[in-house]
């Protein structure tokens, strides 16, 4: 299965799960094993885990498959049910689940709000008119990046699902707490029985695209952190060496250095060094063994960091010292 395949008809499941206090590490290990099992099912495109943040109180797991049929086969599979039976010891209550299909891409790597409504068949036209009014008002707010509305998916989900995307938590909060939104919610009082949760993926914009330029699910938090480390170390050391002849005071040197390192990481280091180097580990093809992918990726990380450590040791200790 090619990583660059056409995913126009992709189906996405967004699952929220509260976890018992003190069981977070065990849950994450269990969830990673569950995702590895999902990767062996036909049509699997990717999976990601997002731990709770100030914006989302649940652990959020996103599955992407190339069709509703393949997603349904995984969601209803005996394999998944067996894992759920084992993992129930970690859960603090039932999970929430939303499924979107028909051309959706993965949730925005910044902030995405998922809202679900149960709509009686005889009220669908009124609901669609009300949603249109909501989008018209919402689009006037700063940071709005679009919305998508998805009909119920037979056999998987009975609710209508809406995704709202924003470029920051602050802009999202401005809309969620606005009097305009309260007014529109009052207008659609008969649709007030809804569920809402927020997906927040830190550093997601650095990993938002695959090699073909298409959106792809971000990697896990652990892989993201290690990838940033691989890029940050040489960037910071090279900047320190470049700025050292200026003899800047510590406070201003860090001020300038942090600004430059952020710019270099976003526009040079990540897209032209880290992503090409670790791309296959950050976004592995679904048919590859998870253990084999991890071993190869961790090996590349170790070799890259050993290389930079040796280079900077020779430069700063053997050949030259900071002025």
- Domain of residue 201, residue span: 11-207
Within 8 A by CB and 6+ apart from 6, the residues are: none
Parallel, antiparallel or unpaired: strands 59-65 and 44-50: antiparallel
| Distance separating alpha carbons of residues 88 and 22, to the nearest angstrom | 14
Is 157 found in the same domain as 43? yes
Tell me, what's the pLDDT at 66? 81
Q: And the tokens for 283? A: 């976004």
- End-of-domain residue from the set 168, 184, 207: 207
Q: What is the pLDDT along the chain (323 residues), one digit of tens a residue?
A: 233 333 334 678 888 888 999 999 999 999 999 999 998 888 888 888 888 876 667 888 888 888 878 888 888 888 898 899 889 899 988 787 777 765 444 444 457 777 777 788 888 888 888 888 888 888 888 888 777 777 776 666 677 877 777 877 778 778 888 888 888 888 877 776 566 656 655 444 444 434 444 444 556 678 888 989 999 999 999 998 888 888 888 889 888 888 898 889 888 888 889 888 988 888 776 566 777 888 989 999 999 999 999 999 998 888 876 55
Residues 182 and 232 placed together within one structural domain of the fold: no
**pLDDT at residue 34, as a whole number:** 92
Same domain, 154 and 200: yes
Residues 276 and 135 in one domain: no
Of 137, 125, 145, 120, the residue nearest 183 (C-alpha)? 137
> Does 3 fall in a domain?
no
Are 87 and 41 in contact by the 8 Å Cβ rule? The answer is no
**Is there a single domain that holds both residue 80 and residue 37?**
yes
The answer to whether the beta carbons of residues 152 and 68 sit under 8 Å apart is: no
Whether 2 is covered by a domain: the verdict is: no
Please say which residue of 176, 207, 238 terminates a domain: 207
Q: Please give the pLDDT value at position 27.
A: 92
- Residue 216: inside a domain, yes or no? no
Domain boundary among 207, 237, 267: 207
């Amino acid at each position: 299965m090619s990583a660059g395949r056409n995913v126009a008809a992709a189906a996405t499941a967004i699952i929220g799960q509260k976890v018992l206090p003190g069981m977070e590490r065990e849950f994450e290990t269990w969830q990673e094993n569950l995702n590895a099992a999902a990767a062996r099912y036909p049509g699997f495109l990717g999976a990601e885990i997002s731990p709770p943040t100030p914006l989302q109180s649940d652990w959020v797991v996103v599955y992407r498959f190339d069709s509703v049929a393949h997603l349904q086969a995984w969601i209803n599979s005996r394999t998944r049910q067996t894992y759920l039976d084992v993992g129930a010891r970690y859960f603090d209550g039932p999970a929430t689940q939303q499924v979107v299909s028909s051309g959706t891409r993965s949730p925005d790597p910044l902030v995405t709000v998922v809202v679900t409504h149960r709509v009686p068949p005889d009220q669908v036209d009124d609901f669609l008119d009300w949603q249109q009014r909501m989008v018209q008002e919402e689009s006037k707010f700063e940071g709005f990046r679009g919305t998508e509305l998805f009909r119920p998916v037979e056999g998987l989900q009975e609710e209508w699902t809406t995704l709202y995307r924003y470029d920051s938590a602050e802009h999202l909060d401005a809309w969620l707490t606005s009097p305009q939104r309260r007014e529109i919610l009052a207008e659609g009082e008969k649709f007030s029985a809804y569920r809402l949760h927020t997906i927040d993926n830190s550093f997601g914009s650095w990993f938002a695209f695959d090699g073909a330029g298409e959106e792809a699910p971000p990697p896990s938090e652990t892989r993201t952190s290690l990838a940033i480390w691989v890029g940050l170390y040489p960037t910071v050391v090279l900047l320190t060496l470049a700025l050292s002849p200026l003899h800047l005071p510590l406070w201003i040197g860090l001020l300038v250095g942090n600004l430059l390192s952020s710019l270099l990481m976003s526009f040079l280091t990540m897209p032209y060094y880290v992503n090409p180097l670790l791309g296959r580990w950050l976004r592995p093809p679904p048919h590859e063994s998870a253990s084999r992918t991890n071993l190869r990726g961790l090996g590349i990380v170790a070799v890259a960091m050993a290389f930079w450590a040796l280079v900077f040791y020779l430069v700063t200790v053997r050949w030259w010292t900071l002025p």
